[in-house]
Structures are given as structure tokens and as C-alpha cells.
Amino acid sequence: MSAENLAALLSFKATRETSWVFAFEAIFAYAVVWLQYIGSWNRMAKTERGGVWGTYIGLALAGMLLGIVGGMATILTGEVDPTQWMLELNLSVMAFICIIAGTITTITILIYSGAMSLLTVFPNLNFRIVTVFIALPALPFIFIGSLREAFDFILIFGAMLAGPYWAIILIDYFLLRKQKINVKACFEKEGPYKYFKGFNPVAIFSQIVGMIVWLFLGGWMTGFTFITSSFGMTLFNGLGATFPAIIVSALVYYGLTKLFLKKYNFGDYGYSKKSLGGVLNEDK
């Protein structure tokens, strides 16, 4: 870093155009959106411990480092697009190679995760056809709009979906199942995890409730007046949107599961460690 750039960074004064709540919302929501791809990052890990630490140390350190570098570059150039501030800062070819490599790996993770999710529901489909089916609809978004607009789109709709989703997953696994899953039953179409004709209505309802909470608090970010609430905007300035949506979805799912699913024995919540002699992914 040149002395001139260092001086510019040290003399930078925050404009305070964005509140700390919105900044926290952006960071928290974007992290939640990426959380479901952990299974792609650590799928080659040989142990549970290696998968956890390899993912969080590698991803967290790399993410924070790149975030700091990107923030400093944006302050110096006023550009949020990495390709733009790289040109203005006259960075080396190696920097562009890193961007290209990072883009390729990111796209690979996204397509692979989407393909495997679809194949889980429709196992008889061809993997290559599924990957093409998933990749082609995303192409227009590459050429339409700016990086900033794409970020807003991912943040708004991704957080609205992913926040309540992860609330349900974490409550179900850690609190309701006590980290005990009948692995064999996961592969049985008519097994205990079938719920009601293959769907968990309590999870679906909890997801919808969380999305409604998110839209009430953060709907103004979409730009649509019909889902913009002045009271919701006021609450957003103190609470954000994604975290409250997670809390509400978690409480609704926990309460309704206790009230209905466990009571009528749907979802095998009474499964014990003795049933198959082990717990999912338990390290020896």
C-alpha cells in the first residue's frame, strides 16, 4: 500500500448515511444466506471436527480479510465492484486471477448445492441435465444490473428465506432432537420423517410466519409500497429484520412441534440413541 493511499484511509471520515442497524442487518443476513452451502465446502472432510474447523477458520479468516481489503478499496475508489477498483488501483494480474478463481469456485458451490437438492427430491434425474437446468436461468442476472443491485436482491430475498429456514433447522436438530437422528430412517420413503405425505406442515407454517415478520420489518428495502410499513421501518431501526424473523420462526416451530408433532408421534422425535446404537456424525 502506498503512502498516499494509507493517508487517504486514515483521513477518511464516515458519512453516517447508513445506520449501524442496517450495517449489522447486511452482514448478518448475508452470512445467513451463505450458511446453507457449508455442506458443499466441507463434504470431503474425514471427521466432523475437521469439517467444522476447516470451514469456519478458513471461511471466517478469508471472509474477514477479503472484507477488509474490499472495504479499504471502496473507500479509496468509491467503487464496490472488485474489477472496477482493481483497475483504478492498478493491481497486478494475480489479483484478477484470484477474482476469476473465486468466482469459479463460488459458482461451482452454488450449482452443485442446487443440483444435489433437486436430486434429493427427484433421484432419477440426470445430474448433468439438472446442473444445466439450474445454471441457465441464472445467466441473465450476470448481464442485467450492477453488482450492487445483485447484492441487494440476494440480501432481501435470500435473508427472508434463509433466516426462518435456519431457525427451523437449528431448533429441530439441537433442541427438539437433542442432536439424535435415525440415519437409516432418513432413506426410507415411508419412514418416520415422512410427516404428512412428505411435508412437515409445522415447518412450512413457521417458515411463512418468519417471512411475514421479515417483510413487515424489512419490506421497505424491496421498494414496493404495498409491503412497506412505517411502523415496521421504525422497529427495523432498533431490531433489524433477519434476526427477529429467526427468533419468531424458532419460537413458533418449537411450540407447535411440542404441541402437535411430538404429541401425535410425527417426525420420530422420541428416537433414542439406543435405537441404532449411535448418533449422527459422532466423533470417536
Torsion angle of alpha carbons 159, 161, 165, 167, nearest 10°?
A: 40
Mean predicted confidence (pLDDT) in 63-68 = 82
| Cα–Cα distance, 32 to 250 (Å, whole number) | 15
User: Model's pTM, two decimal places?
Assistant: 0.80
Q: Which residue has the higher pLDDT, 115 or 251?
A: 251
* Whole-Å CA distances, 198 to 88, 204, 273, 284: 54, 12, 24, 33
Least confident segment among 25-29, 39-43, 124-128, 279-283? 279-283
**The predicted structure's pLDDT at residue 43:** 76
**The predicted structure's pLDDT at residue 282:** 46
Q: Measured in Å, how far apart are the chain's first and last C-alpha atoms?
A: 48
Torsion angle of alpha carbons 171, 194, 46, 126, nearest 10°?
A: -130
**The predicted structure's pLDDT at residue 284:** 40
> Which amino acid does the sequence have at 162?
A
Rounded percentage of the chain residues whose pLDDT exceeds 70:
90
Q: What is the mean pLDDT of the chain?
A: 83
Q: Which residues contact 150 (CB under 8 A, 6 or more apart)?
A: 141
Please provide the DSSP assignment of 59-71 as one string.
HHHHHHHHHHHHH
* Whole-Å CA distances, 59 to 62, 166, 233, 278: 5, 19, 32, 30
| Whether residue 240 has pLDDT greater than 60 | yes
| Whether residue 39 has pLDDT greater than 80 | no
257: which 3 cell numbers?
412441534
| Whether residue 143 has pLDDT greater than 90 | no
What number of residues does the chain have? 284
DSSP structure class, residue 199: B
CB-CB neighbours of 125 under 10 Å = 13
**The predicted structure's pLDDT at residue 172:** 94
| Cα–Cα distance, 89 to 78 (Å, whole number) | 11
Rounded percentage of the chain residues whose pLDDT exceeds 90:
26
172-230 residue pLDDT tens: 999 999 888 888 888 888 888 888 888 899 999 999 999 999 999 998 887 788 888 89
